[in-house]
Amino acid sequence: MAERAGWQPRQPASSAHRDDGDIARGRGIAYARYVHSKFPGFGAAWCAWVADVEVNRRSGELAVTRVVVG
């Protein structure tokens, strides 16, 4: 999934101010497991998502530009 999503390791952003214009870009991940039967049950299905997002710093408008599911 990391390969399909084009995941690249990167260094944390420095504390120095950078002017990247009005658009800030980011990436998030989510994971879910469906558990079948009573707790603790057993895993019946797993899924993960990688989402690329952009936010306009001036307007606050948010856009999901890509989602990869695995």
Each residue's pLDDT tens digit, 21-69:
899 988 889 999 887 777 676 767 889 999 999 999 999 999 999 999 9
Average pLDDT over residues 4-27: 72
Torsion sign, CA atoms 38, 40, 43, 46 = positive
Strands 62-69 and 42-56: antiparallel
| Separation between Cα atoms, residue 49 and residue 13, nearest integer Å | 23
- The SS3 assignment for 47 reads strand
Does residue 38 fall inside a structural domain? yes
In a domain, 3, yes or no: no
Number of domains in the chain: 1
**Has residue 1 been placed in a domain?**
no
**CA dist., res. 56 & res. 21, Å (int):** 9
The domain containing residue 45 runs over which residues? 24-70
Domain-located, residue 28: yes
Q: Is residue 9 part of a domain?
A: no
- Asked if the structure places residue 44 within a domain, the reply is yes
